Homo-oligomer: A and B are copies of this chain.
Amino acid sequence: MALDHAILVSLLEQPGSGYELARRFERSIGYFWTATHQQIYRVLKRMESDGLLDVRDIPQQGRPDKKEYSVAGPGRDALAAWLHEPIEPESLRHDLAVKIRGAAFDDPAALIREVERHHRVHSERLEHYLTGERRDFTGPGAPAPLDAGQELQHVVLRGGIAYERMTVAWLDDVLATLHRIGPAAPRT
């Protein structure tokens, strides 16, 4: 249930509506957690009825009303309790690796385009993260010195950057391997 906690953290950093949260999950929170808007709305409703969140209805002109959520006392306590519990070190779930091993029973060369596509996506994410880092942490307009919260946000972002960099390098390795074994016949 880390989605609950990710939402609590995000709302502590800045209160907002379900729609706004969904957009944050496409951006900064997306470094380490993903969620669709349907999921978010459902969880927000549940957490509000459990008293973890407060809601404020904000009427808007020409747009549907917006419900701004913020963290209530019990929500803060729930987050603190979770922070003090140990969690399992998580493991990878990497479909592409399944495909790569599966390619031994098909045509390995046919995978090259797919791997190149993934390479592009991860390179773009890396660029995107680096741009965000310059804007918020290392560029000329960034605050200095950073406070504790910003330091923590920065180290999480560095994790996202390290992940994308590692992935891009590995995909280079995969491509080189596919080219090397290129003309090989599939295993029967």
Size category, A interface: 35 or more
Chain A residues numbered 1-40 whose CB sits less than 8 Å from any CB in chain B: 2, 5-6, 8-9, 12-13, 30-34
Are A173 and B148 in contact, CB atoms less than 8 angstroms apart?
no
**Cα-based distance from A33 to B97 in the complex (angstroms):** 9
* Interface membership of A99, Cβ < 8 A: yes
Chain A residues packing against B (C-beta within 8 Å): 2, 5-6, 8-9, 12-13, 30-34, 76, 79-80, 82-84, 86-106, 108, 110-111, 114, 117-118, 121-122, 147-149, 151-156, 158-160, 162-163, 165-166, 169-170, 173-174, 177, 180-181, 184-187
Closest CB of chain B to A152's CB: distance in Å?
A: 5
